[in-house]
């Protein structure tokens, strides 16, 4: 049956014919290369119905395809039904990325239209390299002619964070950046990544759901800072935003309208800028085209790495966030055991949110809670239905992936919980995934080790049984910022960024069986120094997350003595740390849950 999304694809094809476009490419990102865009830029979702966070669409006269990775295959097949959009699988051995696929069409000088605001410079270069004859046409807000009820630009209150919360003033951070410019022989840098801007200016907002960022650009020169933000400083502002603008102005940050950014880039030389740095991986082609006059230098923004290395104040805040979050999680798991059989997935997620909302400093969830029972959990990024979600029965496995945003830190935790009797396969999968989690947690490794070197530790127990998972093992976590951040990660893809003390990363191996169950065990880890010897300098991980792992459905003979020792020590630490602050009934329950195995 044809759907509204089929009609939208057909409408896009009509627009293509009117403008002489052979191909249209739409991304799931925004003008700032954000992983999670605000509603205005959810173009892929509007055109296709696909709600996954990672997906790009290509439309030709006779084909429409969605390119996404292994996390979303099951979801995409279901959501694309009736749209005539075909799934193109990525992160699999036979993958064909978009540039290569277009090249395989053999078209002579194809006219390819892209949304110039939502395509990065790097992506366009990859496309041009694969299809040299292509005429690439950037069209800002390409879908606006069809998307008549398109959401407007988001506007939310802005707050500033003091040095007591973040450990470093914006003056100090800007000084670091200006020193970097001098050392690299440049006069200016344009920052476009939203979390980098938020970190550098010590500001937070809520322009993107779950991510405390502000839609903006930041131009830093040796003697000036211009923040282009969709907030009119001359209009009536909420008191927090007005105070924040005053504070920023007092610190030498000029607050300008978002739409003035392109004009500012076209007049750089008039303001003494002869050389400007940009990061082509997160700069959109429309903004790149606006830069006139100065020499453009390209490099990965240094702010990404500075932001990833947490200082003492940030680490202390993250410890506090995970302590408070752990108390909420244990009360939730106690409640879950008492109420299984009479509540559904959505009700469980709402109860957990209510527990976090009681914590002083809570500012919202850090992502949409994945509350998934049984077969639902086989979708790694399952979206829990608000109505008609499955009841949590007293058997099998329930997976809950959730987190909170607090003024003093960001949390992300997954627990897979046996709600009653489990099948032998569920028990075996549960244990193998936990083995991988534990083996990575116990890692000791030399300075210079990168994410791909460590990723195998979490997969090896599964590989021995010819099992695997299609997503990465871990991602960086921001400090009261985006739950996903780089530049480091834990995955099989080559990433040359070496781990260093102060990095915070998730540890979340899993396994997913369509129609049966999904399992994921996740803690947040802090990378710490372990000292030096004649063989070099050494690093290790410390779990920040405080919430027990359920041992009731383990196949203990699959665990080594060392793994059992780690598990018992971790669960004991959780009990010792949390029990004094838990209600008596929950504390007694946790004592039983954390007894050694």
Q: Which CATH number covers residue 127?
A: 3.40.350.10
Q: In terms of domains, do 377 and 524 share one?
A: yes
Of 102, 123, 145, the domain-final residue: 145
Residue 152 domain-assigned? no
Tell me how far apart the alpha carbons of residues 214 and 201 are, in angstroms, rounded to a whole number.
Answer: 11
Note whether 371 and 510 are same-domain residues. Answer: yes
Q: Contact, 477 vs 526, CB < 8 A?
A: no
Model confidence band, residue 312 (pLDDT cutoffs 50, 70, 90): very high
Tokens found for residue 28: 């799931």
Q: Give CA separation, 63 vs 5, 51, 69, 146, 588, in Å.
A: 14, 20, 19, 19, 60
DSSP 482-545: -SSEEEEEESSS----B--TT-EEEE--EEEETTTEEEE-BEEEEEEEEEEETTEEEEEEEE--
Q: What is the pLDDT of residue 285?
A: 95
Q: Do 348 and 256 share a structural domain?
A: no
Residue at which a domain ends, from 277, 304, 331? 304
Please tell me whether residues 130 and 164 are part of one structural domain: no
pLDDT value of residue 271: 85
Whole-number percent of the chain with pLDDT over 70: 99
Under DSSP, is residue 242 helix (H, G, I), strand (E, B) or coil? helix
Given the DSSP bridges, would you call strands 188-191 and 275-278 parallel, antiparallel or unpaired? Answer: parallel
Q: What pLDDT was estimated at residue 237?
A: 75
Residues 29 and 104 in one domain: yes
Which of the four pLDDT bands, split at 50, 70 and 90, describes residue 234? low
How far apart, in whole angstroms, are the C-alpha atoms of residue 370 and residue 381? 7
Q: Pull the structure tokens for residue 93.
A: 């051995």
What average pLDDT score do residues 220-240 get?
Answer: 83
For residue 229, tell me if it sits in a domain. Answer: yes
Chain mean position to CA 33: 12
Residues 50 and 78 in one domain: yes
pLDDT given for residue 326 in this prediction: 98
Question: What is the SS3 assignment for 327-362?
Answer: HHHHHHHHHHHHHCCCCEHHHHHHHHHHHHHCCCCE
CA distance linking residue 38 with residue 29, whole number of Å: 9
Is 543 within 8 Å of 577 (Cβ atoms)? no
Q: Let me know whether 290 and 394 are in one domain.
A: no
Query: Cα 222 vs. chain centroid, distance in angstroms?
Result: 32
Residue 1 scores a pLDDT above 70: no
What pLDDT does residue 74 have? 86
Residue at 150 is within a domain: no
| CATH number of the domain within which 461 lies | 3.90.230.10
CA distance 175 to 181: 10
C-alpha span between 301 and 372 (Å, rounded): 38
Final residue belonging to a domain, choices 247, 274, 304: 304
Q: Give every CB contact of residue 141 below 8 A, 6+ residues apart in sequence.
A: 115, 117
334 plus 276 within the same structural domain: no
- Give the mean pLDDT of 66-92: 91
Q: What integer pLDDT is reported at residue 41 of this predicted model?
A: 96
**Residue range(s) defining the domain that contains residue 49:** 4-145
pLDDT higher than 80, residue 235 = no
For the chain, give the mean pLDDT: 95
> If you average pLDDT over residues 142-168, what whole number do you get?
95
Q: What are phi and psi of 68, to 5 degrees?
A: -150, 175
> Each residue of 338-388: pLDDT tens digit?
999 999 999 999 999 999 999 999 999 999 999 999 999 999 889 999 999
Check whether residue 354 and residue 472 sit in a common domain.
Answer: yes
Q: Is residue 151 part of a domain?
A: no
Domain membership flag for residue 433: yes
Number of domains in the chain: 3
Taking the alpha carbons at both ends of the chain, their separation in whole angstroms is 54
Longest dimension (CA), the chain: 74
Q: Are residues 422 and 540 in the same domain?
A: yes
User: Does 298 lie in the same domain as 318?
Assistant: no
Nearby residues of 283 by Cβ (< 8 Å), 6 or more positions away: 33, 120, 121, 190, 192
Q: In the block, which residue shows the tokens 């834990």?
A: 490
Band the pLDDT of 240: cuts 50, 70, 90: confident
Q: What share of the chain has pLDDT > 90, as a percent?
A: 92
pLDDT of 162: 96
Provide the phi-psi class of 502: left if phi over 0, else alpha when psi is between -120 and 50, else beta. left
Q: Return the structure tokens found at 235.
A: 């209009």
């Amino acid at each position: 049956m044809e759907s509204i999304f089929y009609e939208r694809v057909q409408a896009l094809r009509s627009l293509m014919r009117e403008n002489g476009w052979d191909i249209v490419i739409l991304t799931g990102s925004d003008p700032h290369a954000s992983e999670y865009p605000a509603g205005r830029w959810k173009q892929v979702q509007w055109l296709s119905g696909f709600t996954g966070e990672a997906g790009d669409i290509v439309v030709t006269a006779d084909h429409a395809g969605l390119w996404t990775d292994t996390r979303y295959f099951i979801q995409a097949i279901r959501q694309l039904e009736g749209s005539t959009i075909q799934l193109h699988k990525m992160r699999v051995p036979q993958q064909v990325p978009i540039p290569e696929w277009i090249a395989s069409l053999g078209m002579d000088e194809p006219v390819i239209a892209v949304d110039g605001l939502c395509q990065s410079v790097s992506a366009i270069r990859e496309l041009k390299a694969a299809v040299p004859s292509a005429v690439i046409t950037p069209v800002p807000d390409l879908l606006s002619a069809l998307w008549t009820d398109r959401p407007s630009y988001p506007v939310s209150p802005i707050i500033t964070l003091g040095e007591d919360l973040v450990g470093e003033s914006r003056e100090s951070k800007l000084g670091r950046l200006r020193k970097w410019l001098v050392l690299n022989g440049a006069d200016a840098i344009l920052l476009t990544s939203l979390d980098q801007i938020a970190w550098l200016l010590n500001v937070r907002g809520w322009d993107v759901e779950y991510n405390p960022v502000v839609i903006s650009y930041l131009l830093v020169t040796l003697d000036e800072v211009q923040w282009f933000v969709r907030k009119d400083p001359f209009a009536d502002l909420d008191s927090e935003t007005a105070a924040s603008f005053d504070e920023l102005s007092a610190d030498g940050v000029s607050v300008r309208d978002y739409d003035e950014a392109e004009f500012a880039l076209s007049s750089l030389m008039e303001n003494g800028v002869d050389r400007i740095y940009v990061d082509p991986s997160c700069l959109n082609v429309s903004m790149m085209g606006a830069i006139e006059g100065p020499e453009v230098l390209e490099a990965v923004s240094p702010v990404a790495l500075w932001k990833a290395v947490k200082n003492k104040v940030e680490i202390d805040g993250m410890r506090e966030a995970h302590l408070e979050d752990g108390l909420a999680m244990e009360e939730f798991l106690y409640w879950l055991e008492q109420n299984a059989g009479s509540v559904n997935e959505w009700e469980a997620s709402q109860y957990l949110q209510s527990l976090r909302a009681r914590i002083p400093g809570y500012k919202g969830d850090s992502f949409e809670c994945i509350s998934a029972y049984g077969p639902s959990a086989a979708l790694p990024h399952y979206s829990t239905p608000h109505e008609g979600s499955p009841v949590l029965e007293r058997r099998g496995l329930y997976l809950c992936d959730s987190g909170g945003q607090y003024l003093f830190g960001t949390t992300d935790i997954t627990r897979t919980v046996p709600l009653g009797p489990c099948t032998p396969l569920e028990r075996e999968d549960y244990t193998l995934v936990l083995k991988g989690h534990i083996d990575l947690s116990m890692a000791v490794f030399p300075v210079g080790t990168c994410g791909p070197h460590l990723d195998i530790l979490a997969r090896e127990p599964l590989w021995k049984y010819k099992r695997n998972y299609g997503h990465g093992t871990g991602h960086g976590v921001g400090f009261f910022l985006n739950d996903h951040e780089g530049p480091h990660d834990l995955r099989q893809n080559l990433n040359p960024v070496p781990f260093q003390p102060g990095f915070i990363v998730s540890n979340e191996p899993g396994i997913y069986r369509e129609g049966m169950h999904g399992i994921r065990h996740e803690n947040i880890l802090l990378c710490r120094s372990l000292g030096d010897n004649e063989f070099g300098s050494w690093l290790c991980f410390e779990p920040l997350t405080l919430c027990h792992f359920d041992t009731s459905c383990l196949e203990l003979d699959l665990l080594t003595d060392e793994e059992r020792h780690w598990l018992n020590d971790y669960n004991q630490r959780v009990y010792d740390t949390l029990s004094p602050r838990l209600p008596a009934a929950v504390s007694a329950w946790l004592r039983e849950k954390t007894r050694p195995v």
